[in-house]
Amino acid sequence: MTFLATACTIGDTGTSEPPTTTQAAPATIAVPAADGAPINPTTPIVVTATGGRLTTVTVTNPADAGAPVAGALAPDGTSWTSSAPLGYESTYTVVADAVNPDGAPVEQTFTVTTMTPGSTAYANVVPAPEVVADTGIGVGQPMVFQFTSPVANKAAVQERLHVTTTPPQPGAWYWTDDQNAHYRAANYWAPGTKIHVEADVFGVDLGDGVFGAENNAADYTVHDSWVAKADGASEVLTVFHNGVQETSMPMSLGSPDHPSHEGPHVVSDRQQSIIMDSCTYGVCAGDPDYYREKVDLNLRISNDGEFVHSAPWSVGDQGSSNVSHGCVNLAPANAQWMFDHFGIGDVVEITNSGGPVLPVWDTYGDWEVPWAEWQAGNATG
């Protein structure tokens, strides 16, 4: 008997299914500030990606010649944030590109608008830096930001005002009125001090619909200490340079009817010659006290008409009687010496004049305010 061998196959003889592939969903791009209420121009534009990463983001303002707004991607590519301030009343176009994990690209366009303020105000720095760039400022010069509109939100604004001094000299802000914020230390600045001031008020709500128009900053150097002490009892002006007596000279202060203000005064302006007219403060032609004179070698020490100046007409009274309308009268040669040595920020301290204390608002009555009271005037407490 013969047996035949046969081959056989053991196992599944059916057809196999091909493996399935799942595609990643497209990346999703979002701009929270888009198509909503207008934003403050200091608020950064943020672009985010989920389910992928951003590759490029471009933000432009068509009204600004399409100039791109600076910004940066996060290291992981999941967000982009603008780094430059925006502008008021502007419309920005945001074009963002992203890819998902499979590399599939997506691009979206968004629109972001910024607010329109009711009005804007500037923070002007005083003294103007260009005026004192070559000379520096005196030890008595307060730092001043003068706003072009009243500031209702003083505390919020003051938080954005900064002063840095080298070497450090702690100081404080004091609002002399609704538009002027003054900063000084407890004592006069040390000679050689470097002072940097900043008003970061762009986009800040000053109150009553007014917003900061732009930021401002300035740098100053304090020159040597020049302090003149005007004693109405002796009618002598004694000058100290860096704390050491330099010279003295006879003078005449305000008469009993027109006494000079008492206390430290700060030189705020220098004029070779000016016309002094009493009508500017209400004493006009026909009044026995009216005067209109060309006066030389003028150092302004208050805004209500007090100067250190040349007064050849009162030389006979200088050193013996106080006969002026409130100014510090000097002989021409002495006035020239003062004009040559004193500049913006230098100090004239008046005592024994019989007059009232110089008001804080009267450019500059800052040093008449006791330090504790000055600190209490700080809007942020």
The catalytic residue positions are: 309, 327
Give the residue from 87, 86, 170, 158 showing the smallest Cα distance to 123: 158
Question: Would you call 118 helix, strand, or coil by DSSP?
Answer: coil
Query: Position of tokens 């000679």?
Result: 191
Separation of alpha carbons 42 and 87, rounded Å: 8
Asked if the peptide bond before residue 44 counts as cis, ω within 30 degrees of 0, the response is: no
Distance linking the first and last C-alpha atoms of the chain: 120
| Calpha distance 86→214 (Å, rounded) | 11
Token pair recorded at residue 255:
């008469």
- Beta strands 226-231 and 105-113, pairing class: unpaired
Kindly write down the DSSP assignment for every residue of 244-309, as one continuous string: EEEEEEE-B-B-TTSPPPBEEEE--EEEEEEEEEGGGGT--TTSTT--EEEEEEEEE--TTS-EEE
Alpha-carbon distance of 149 to 158, in angstroms, equals 15
- For 322, counting Cβ atoms within 10 Å of its Cβ (0-12 exposed, 13-18 middle, 19+ buried), the class is buried
Closest CA to 259 of 293, 288, 291, 302: 302
By residue count, the chain amounts to 381
Question: Strands 28-30 and 46-50: what pairing?
Answer: antiparallel
Residue 215 corresponds to which amino acid? N
- Collapsing DSSP to helix, strand or coil, 379 comes out as coil
Spatial distance between the Cα atoms of 268 and 251, rounded to a whole number of angstroms: 20
Q: How far apart are CA 57 and CA 78, in angstroms?
A: 11
Query: Residue 349's beta-bridge partner residues?
Result: 229, 264
